Structure 1
């Protein structure tokens, strides 16, 4: 791996509707949890309760993720507004070293 060096710069990261994506995933995890609750006894009889609790954990982690991406989105907007106030266009991040 020491002989390998990048020949070109890394592409810009893809940005999309991150908050909406995380919110949708969180809703799906909670929906799966709620759908499985009536069958709690069936899962318990077969020693498969981890399915139910995995969905609950996915929903809770989705709430944490939603809080995180909303804060990240707000920070990116604040940064872009600060650059616009200075009259500087937002550009790519720090340049990668060239070999």
Structure 2
């Protein structure tokens, strides 16, 4: 639902659904480690939604958390998450760069 709303060009509408998904996955992942990859992906998307509404600090926070999860998953399953690590690193660096240019 969040992705569909995001595609409408109204980023604020996708944000609550992205936040809800992260909230649900945070509760599931500790008991079911297979959900860690879904949580990392949801955080990656959430960072984009947050960035779109202009809160680069929180976007960076979500991107960092996503990257840390993907790095751990990649250590546990080498080469399985290399692309996700690359994309999450790109988002983190992008948000950090934008934040530094603002300040």
Tell me which interval the TM-score lies in, with the shorter structure as reference length: 0.3 to 0.5
> Between Structure 1 and Structure 2, which shows a larger proportion of helix residues?
2
Q: Taking structure 2 as the reference length, what is the TM-score of the superposition?
A: 0.42
Higher RCO (Cα < 8 Å, 6 or more apart): 1
Larger radius of gyration: 1
Q: Taking structure 1 as the reference length, what is the TM-score of the superposition?
A: 0.43
